[in-house]
A = this chain, B = another copy of it.
């Protein structure tokens, strides 16, 4: 295999072949380790040696399989991002569901997901700051869907749930703020309120029921 010597050749030829052998392929081990460390520490604070060590692999394998730290990061980034928005768009765009139904479904699915991936939102928010354009372009389709469907529903109000129209920005900020912020600010909140990890998760379970109720209360206020 001459790939490392010819940087411009395509790279996936080698991959497909040996995958699915043994327990977990070297490539998969590296990817898993990279996901863990990149997600925890972000791009800049992650060293390729840390990834190799976490994967129990030789450092050179990282470049053998992924060419560069940046390329590896891009792959992780994209997968993380898709994982995070997967499901939510489909739920939210559904024409037949009422606002109330959407609220309940999305919040529950999201909190379940975040309990399993507590570092993901901070990671996304961080990298979105460093690279707004590149990432946004990969998901512009989903954004447009949300704009064309859900935002319209929001702005004309929801008859079934008796919820008046609401400015989409405020709705999103509230919804994500209430749902995602506890995970983004977890270290701070835990420190101030003196809450253990177990208690934190229990509180998040509570919020699955509470947030939809709160959101409806917010939307029912006059002046929105």
Question: Which partner residue on chain B sits nearest A146 by CB separation?
Answer: B192
Specify which chain B residues have a CB less than 8 angstroms from the CB of A193 in the assembled complex.
151, 168-169, 172
Determine the distance from Cα of A129 to Cα of B43 in the docked complex, in whole angstroms: 15
Q: CB within 8 A of A189: which of B172, B182, B224?
A: B172
Q: Digit string of A119-152 for contact with B (CB within 8 Å is 1, else 0)? A: 0001011101110100010000001001100010
What copy number does this chain have within its complex?
2
Q: Which of A153-211 contact B (CB under 8 A)?
A: 167-170, 172-174, 176-178, 180-182, 184-185, 187-189, 191-195, 203, 206-207, 209-210
Whether A45 sits at the interface, judged by CB under 8 Å, is yes
Whether A8 sits at the interface, judged by CB under 8 Å, is no
Q: B195 and A224: CB pair below 8 A? A: no
Q: CB within 8 A of A188: which of B125, B151, B218?
A: B125
Determine the distance from Cα of A201 to Cα of B177 in the docked complex, in whole angstroms: 17
Whether A5 sits at the interface, judged by CB under 8 Å, is no
Whether A24 sits at the interface, judged by CB under 8 Å, is no
Whether A13 sits at the interface, judged by CB under 8 Å, is no
Q: B195 and A169: CB pair below 8 A? A: yes
Q: B203 and A214: CB pair below 8 A? A: no
Provide the main secondary structure of the chain A interface: helix
Determine the distance from Cα of A182 to Cα of B177 in the docked complex, in whole angstroms: 7
Specify which chain B residues have a CB less than 8 angstroms from the CB of A192 in the assembled complex.
143, 146-147, 172
Whether A7 sits at the interface, judged by CB under 8 Å, is no
Q: B203 and A224: CB pair below 8 A? A: no
Determine the distance from Cα of A41 to Cα of B130 in the docked complex, in whole angstroms: 8
Q: A187 and B122: CB pair below 8 A? A: no
Q: B44 and A129: CB pair below 8 A? A: no
Name, among A124, A168, A169, A218, the residue most crowded by chain B CB atoms within 10 Å (CB to CB): A169
Shortest distance from the beta carbon of A143 to any chain B beta carbon, whole Å? 6
Specify which chain B residues have a CB less than 8 angstroms from the CB of A122 in the assembled complex.
125-126, 129
Question: Which partner residue on chain B sits nearest A136 by CB separation?
Answer: B191
Q: CB within 8 A of A173: which of B146, B181, B224?
A: B181
Whether A116 sits at the interface, judged by CB under 8 Å, is no
Q: A203 and B125: CB pair below 8 A? A: no
